[in-house]
Homo-oligomer: A and B are copies of this chain.
Amino acid sequence: MPRLKKKLRSRKSGLPPGALVHIGDIKTTTPTLTLIDYSPDGFSERELPDVAALDALPRGGGVRWLNLHGVHDAELLAAVGQRFGLHPLVIEDVLNTDQRPKVDDYDDYLFIVLHLYDIGRNRGDVTTDQISLVVGRDFVLTFQERPSGTFAPIRQRLRAEKGLLRRTGSDYLAYSLLDAIVDSYFSVIERLSERAEGLEEEILGKPQPSTLQGIHVLKREVIRLRRTLWPLRETLNTLCRGDAGFFRPETQLYLRDVYDHTVHVLESLEDVRDLLNGLLDVYLTTLSNRVNMEVRTLTVVATLFMPATLIAGIFGMNFHFIPWLDQPLGFWQALSLMAGVGAVMTAVFWYRRLLR
């Protein structure tokens, strides 16, 4: 059962703003800094022991991409922030892994927060990772809660010698990262659709009480995902309008494409939600139908047997003078009477549309 978001945010109440406190679970043991420098002509990739190591590295005219796995080390983050001249609020937001997606424009750089979703095949098997991006004129910083394969293809494309990615600036890199994240939502949607359709089959076939819980859980996951995607859509829309001037017009064309994908994901999610709501209706109606059928069975049984039982009881009374008792066919007459009464009553109810 997925829990409501509750990352002990209250732990921070009373602290001054900009106080660097990590909020959330620690998902990786030691933070890892990876630096990629690239330009149309060159490419270098190295793991850094600490932020200070950056000073030793010469800065060419290319784009610098610093990626950090593990965001619970407040000191390390503060050092990164200072090195790149980031506002304290940015570092605070990176530390707090319970942000909603947003884009903040700090004249010299853009700060973007997104989430990576992963939903397993089983119920409640959901993981969320916050990814923060800082996009400067000639650098991009990415902060992830734990290593994930999402950015691997981009690194691969950078390593390959040719391609648009190497020739263009930090804005295109940022776009590629955003694109990779949004694309990963498609498989989440597919997994959700599969589970919804599994539930649909169950309900149209043989619904069980556990099916209901399945719908309940899936609905909550959909609602949760939706709540993340709406601000993401807004965020990408803001980037597309591009007042900040960080994204060149050519790149903005691509951003619009990412925005379209997000809208598409959201609509597929609405499809799942509508399906689930429809299923709940079908389930409830099927239940009612079933009660209906069983009450009818009960009525038929009672209608057939109660009169007959009464007749048997009547001829079982111990009066001295009861008609038919001494007649040779009395017994069979009584049985016929039972059958007759049952038939007549059933016919009457049938005719008055009570039993069909």
| A binding-site residues for B, Cβ under 8 Å | 1, 3-6, 8-10, 12-18, 87, 89, 98-100, 102, 104, 106, 152-153, 157, 163-165, 175-176, 179-180, 183-184, 186-187, 190, 193, 196-197, 200, 204, 209, 212-213, 216, 219-220, 223-224, 227, 253-254, 256-257, 260, 263-264, 267-268, 270-272, 274-275, 278, 280-299, 301-303, 305-310, 312-326, 328, 330-331, 334-335, 338, 345, 349, 353-355
Contacts and interface: CB of A to CB of B under 8 A. Distances in A.
Contacts of A220: 274-275, 278
25 contacts: A1-B204, A9-B190, A12-B183, A12-B186, A16-B157, A16-B176, A17-B179, A18-B164, A87-B253, A212-B285, A213-B282, A216-B281, A224-B271, A294-B354, A295-B298, A298-B302, A301-B303, A301-B345, A312-B313, A312-B317, A314-B334, A315-B317, A318-B322, A320-B326, A321-B331
Contact of A287 (B102, B213, B253, B289): B289
Nearest to A254: B17
A214 B266 CA distance: 27
A110 to B, nearest CB: 14
Contacts of A223: 271, 274
A5 B275 CA distance: 12
A355 B267 CA distance: 41
Given A4-B275, A8-B190, A16-B176, 9 more contacts: A4-B197, A12-B183, A16-B164, A100-B267, A102-B260, A220-B275, A287-B292, A317-B318, A318-B325
A104 B286 CA distance: 46
A87 B157 CA distance: 21
B325 A330 contact: no
A310 B305 contact: yes
A271 B209 contact: no
Contacts of A295: 291, 294-295, 298
B209 A289 contact: yes
A155 to B, nearest CB: 11
A275 to B, nearest CB: 7
Contact of A254 (B89, B196, B307): B89
Contacts of A163: 16
Contacts of A290: 292
Listed from nearest, the 5 A-B pairs whose CB atoms lie closest are A312-B313, A14-B153, A315-B317, A305-B306, A10-B187
A283 B210 CA distance: 13
Contacts of A354: 293-294, 297
